[in-house]
Amino acid sequence: MDFKLSNKSTASAQHDTVARGLRCALCVALWCCALSLVCAVAQQTRRQQPTTKPAQTTVRADGNTTAALTEAAALLQAGRLDEAEEVVRRSLSTAPRDANAHTLLGVILDERGRTAEAEQEYHEALRLEPKHVAARSNLGVLLARTNRIDQAIEMFEAVLRIEPAHTKAGFNLGALYAARGDYNRAVPLLERAANVHNNQAATADASDLALLLMLENAYAHVGRGQAAGALADRIEQLAGDDARTLFTLGLTLAEGQEYARAARLFERTNALRPQTFEVLYNLGVARYNLNQLDEAAQALNAAAALAPNAAEPYYRLGLIASARGDSKAALEYWGKALTLRPDYAEANFMIGEELLKRRVPENAVQFYARALELDPAKLIYHIRLGVADFRSQHYQEARAVFNRALERFPNDANLYFLLGYAARAEGQYDDAIAAFNRSLALKPDNPDVLTNLGFIAGQRGQEAEAERLLRQAIKLDPNNFPAYHDLGRLLVKLRRYDEALPLLERGASLNKEDPGVHYQLFLAYSRLKRKEDAERELAIFKQFEAATKHAPTPLGGANAGMAAGETDAQPPPLPAAAAGESSKPPVP
């Protein structure tokens, strides 16, 4: 094959591949900018007029210097770098304070791979003439190419302050904003470069495909679906049968969750360049995201056959097996991925997920811990490790995990909720209240937090406060089962049976299999002399108690019994959203 694509996931590979495409396009665009700025240097030199400023601040060029720089620029464009450098250095020997000459020498040195020397020449030009557009633009090129993106952005922003209509600087700045993920600022600059006006279609031609792909990527990130669709049509039309462009467009569309169209483009690419690992791999991922599991598995197995030492297809095949409910196969695929790539954080994470789903949290902990060790920047890894410790009833370990996570994510309300939940499970109510209140400060009116604060208030005999908090939680979330259960139980305790009954009945309708709510209904019906109803609820309670007595609880232990006093100390299951759970295997 004469082109190389990505071998990662649609999400991460799209980002990496497009980022590489952006960087390549950026380098091409920047170098074109550099060459054009060579001409600009010569033109600027010709335009300069003598100045009456003091000699130490004067930057002037006589006729000989102008001719020399024009000659050097021509030699540079012809690729005769030795001669070009010699001409410029000779010119600088007679006019050492000529900013244009320093800029042109910087371009020549940069082309020769002498980056540090080139940077020095650009800085010298700017010292002599701070508003020298060519020097700033070419320095921006160098900074971008050496991955000093923030500094490059500052340089191009300065160019546009000096010369707002500078087309190439605007394009380069837009590309750099996109590379940094600042798509809202990238879009107007890239639109201007692509001649997009008032939401009209881009008028750029096939020579500007790199620009159009960058703009398409930016549209996808800012939710401009209609504009992205129209531009994708334009790019596909211009691309013709160019496999690289079609593939990159497919990756961009996949990042915008346009999986159906992305899959079609991957199919086209596969027809143009059959049996290419990266194409088949990304086709499989797109099909997976469309829930076309058979087609996804077919593409991924073909990719694995082409690159048997690549871990990524096995990881994705594990996701498909898990989605099909085949836990054994999923674990085998992820084990294979780890054999090929022991530092595969996502595979470790998914093994932890599968083991947690199997209700063996103690076994999941080591895999979550390894994933977190490999990639501590992922919040979900912290959360799931803490949840696994929590469900293993290792509450201190869970709290330690959440506290460490808060050092990295200090303003995450959910982490404070989880920290409070673990403290509640441990019976450390003061610590739990502090964490829950911090969570509320970051995210007010969270019904799950209010429910837990209400529970603790009730445990401490603060009945009025408990009732207030639980009623507030129900108002915010009418489907909050723990709030109905805890408020109903509180009212039974306070002998307000008529008020407790509708709350408990609503709770039972939300969670029919919870033994505790049926036990509270039994108590309420008994006190209200509704014998048949009481007997029915007692029978349901005993049925569920017998079924769950030796089954794992949401916390990972075995149920010791569900009598009224025994349910109080055990918190309900963690809310799925707070615990980081998903109905479909997540793609970290």
Q: Judge whether 125 and 102 are in contact, CB under 8 Å.
A: yes
Q: What is the pLDDT of residue 199?
A: 55
Q: Judge whether 422 and 395 are in contact, CB under 8 Å.
A: yes
* Token code pair at residue 363: 């076994």
Total-model pTM: 0.74
Residue 383 has pLDDT above 90, yes or no: yes
* Beta-bridge partner residues of 322: none
Which CA distances in Å does 541 have to 454, 457, 512? 25, 26, 10
Residues 525 and 564: their CA atoms lie apart, in Å, by: 15
Q: How far is CA 147 from the centre of its chain?
A: 20
Residue 132 has pLDDT above 70, yes or no: yes
Cα angle 227, 231, 234 (rounded to 5 degrees) comes to 150
Residue 565 has pLDDT above 50, yes or no: no
* Beta-bridge partner residues of 558: 552
Q: What is the pLDDT of residue 570?
A: 60
Give 8-54 pLDDT, tens digit per residue.
333 333 333 333 333 333 333 333 343 344 444 444 443 343 333 32
Residues 169 and 157: their CA atoms lie apart, in Å, by: 8
Q: What are phi and psi of 558, to 5 degrees?
A: -100, 145
Residues 319 and 588: their CA atoms lie apart, in Å, by: 11
Q: What is the pLDDT of residue 202?
A: 56
Q: What is the pLDDT of residue 581?
A: 77
Residues 275 and 271: their CA atoms lie apart, in Å, by: 9
Give 274-329 pLDDT, tens digit per residue.
999 999 999 999 999 999 999 999 999 999 999 999 999 999 999 999 999 999 99
Which of 3, 45, 52 lies closest to 24 in space, CA to CA?
3
Q: Judge whether 274 and 281 are in contact, CB under 8 Å.
A: no
* Token code pair at residue 22: 């952006």
Asked which of 123-137, 193-207, 552-566 is least confident by mean pLDDT, the reply is 552-566
Residue 573 has pLDDT above 90, yes or no: no
Could you tell me the pLDDT band of residue 580, with boundaries at 50, 70 and 90? confident
Give 430-485 pLDDT, tens digit per residue.
999 999 999 999 999 999 999 999 999 999 999 999 999 999 999 999 999 999 99
Report which of residues 62 and 543 the model is more confident about. Answer: 543
Residue 559 has pLDDT above 50, yes or no: no
Which CA distances in Å does 295 have to 10, 54, 288, 301, 317? 15, 75, 8, 10, 11
Q: What is the pLDDT of residue 304?
A: 97
Residues 205 and 183: their CA atoms lie apart, in Å, by: 23
Report which of residues 114 and 52 the model is more confident about. Answer: 114
Residue 528 has pLDDT above 90, yes or no: yes
Which of 164, 235, 219, 214 lies closest to 29 in space, CA to CA?
214
Second CATH level (architecture) for the domain 26-180: Alpha Horseshoe (1.25)
Report which of residues 348 and 555 the model is more confident about. Answer: 348
Residues 574 and 572: their CA atoms lie apart, in Å, by: 6
Q: What is the pLDDT of residue 411?
A: 96
Outline where DSSP puts E strands in 100-232.
none
Half-sphere exposure (Cβ direction) of 585: Cα atoms closer than 13 Å: 31
From the number of C-beta atoms within 10 Å of its C-beta (0-12, 13-18, 19+), residue 504 rates as buried
Q: Where are the alpha helices (DSSP H) in 358-394?
A: 361-374, 379-391
* Token code pair at residue 311: 């871990």
Asked which of 11-25, 98-112, 160-174, 359-373 is least confident by mean pLDDT, the reply is 11-25
End-to-end CA distance of the chain: 30
Looking at this protein, which amino acid is placed at residue 248?
T
Q: What is the pLDDT of residue 579?
A: 84
Dihedral angle at the C-alpha atoms of 412, 418, 422, 428, nearest 10 degrees?
50
Residue 49, Cβ neighbours under 10 Å: how many? 5
The mean predicted confidence, pLDDT, of the chain is 85
Give me the sign of the Cα torsion angle 32, 33, 37, 39: positive
Residues 345 and 350: their CA atoms lie apart, in Å, by: 9
In angstroms and rounded to an integer, the radius of gyration of the C-alpha atoms of the chain is 33
Q: What is the pLDDT of residue 445?
A: 94
* Beta-bridge partner residues of 552: 558
